[in-house]
Amino acid sequence: MAPPILSLVLPSETGRVLSIQSHTVHGYVGNKSAVFPLEILGFDVDPIHSVQFSNHTGYPSFKGQVLNGQQLWDLIEGLETNDLLYYTHLLTVCDPVMGDEGKLYVPPELVAVYREKVVPVASMLTPNQFEAENLTGLRIVTEKDGLEACNILHAAGPSKVVITSINIDDNLLLIGSHEKEKGQDPERFKIVIPKIPAYFTGTGDLMTALLLGWSNKYPDNLDRAAELAVSSLQAVLQRTVNDYKRSGYDPQTSSLEIRLIQSQDDIRNPEVIYKAEKY
C-alpha cells in the first residue's frame, strides 16, 4: 500500500477539487480511487491524469502513457486561459509516490525535491511510514518517533500531518497532528487499526481523498475527520475481502481491487468504529 504524499486544503462550504493523479482504465488506484468518494462527499472534482495505464502495475503487465511536464502544463494553461483555475482544493500525488514497504519508488534525488519544494506548500501532508522516514530522516519504530516526525514535518510547513500507517506489533497506527497556531503545541492523536490479512491497491489514494473530504467538513477537528476516514476505509476493505471470499478467491494470494462502488453508503455515512485517542 503506497499512500499519496500530500493534499492542499482550503476550507470551503462547496468544494471544487483539482485532483492530479494517475489513472487506470481497469481497477481503482489514483484518480479512480479518489474522484468518486469526493463526489459522494459533495465535491465537484476535475481530474488531471498524470499517468494513464490499462491497469495498475501490480498486474503481470500494463500498457499506457505517462504525461511529461509540458503536457501537464498545457492542461493547466488551458484551464487558466479560460479562467477555470478557481479551485478550493488541490489534491495531488507526487507520481509515482515516494515508496512503501521499505522500497523507494523514485530516484533518490527526487526525495530532496519533495522535501524542499513540495512539503513547504502543503497544508496537509499524508505520508505513510516509509515516506515520513524519508522526508524527515528519522527512523520510525515507536509512537514517540511518529510524534517527532510530525513535529519535523510541521516545521517544514504543513499545519496538518497524518502519518497514515505505522507498523507496530500486529496493528497499524495512524498518528495525526494539527498545529492550529504557529509556535503553539499541536493537537495530536492516534488511531489503532487492526491489520486485515490481505494486500490491496489504491487504499492510500482513497484514504487521502477521505481525509480531504472529512477535514473540510471538520476543519478544526482533524481527529474527527480521521475517525470518519479510517472507519470508512476499513468498511470498504472488509467489504472487498468478503466479496472475494464469496467468489471463491483467497484474499491473501493476490492484490485485491477495492469494492468502491459497492461501498457508497460506507463512504457517505460511515459508522465510526475506530476512535481517536488524544495524546
Would you name the residues annotated as active-site residues?
Answer: 205
Which amino acid makes up residue 218? Y
Cell numbers 495530536 label which residue? 188
Contact of 59 with 29, CB cutoff 8 Å = no
Rounded Cα distance, 173 and 133, in Å: 15
Q: How far is CA 8 from each of CA 120, 125, 208, rounded to the nearest angstrom? A: 11, 8, 11
What the block records as the C-alpha cell of 152 is 519535523
What the block records as the C-alpha cell of 251 is 484474499
Cis before 37? omega within 30: no
Phi, psi of 176 (to 5 degrees): -120, 150
**Given the DSSP bridges, would you call strands 160-168 and 124-125 parallel, antiparallel or unpaired?**
parallel
**In this structure, what DSSP letter does residue 251 have?**
T
Cβ partners under 8 Å of residue 49, min gap 6? 21, 22, 23, 30, 31, 67
Determine the 3-state secondary structure of 10 from DSSP. coil
Rounded Cα distance, 187 and 184, in Å: 9
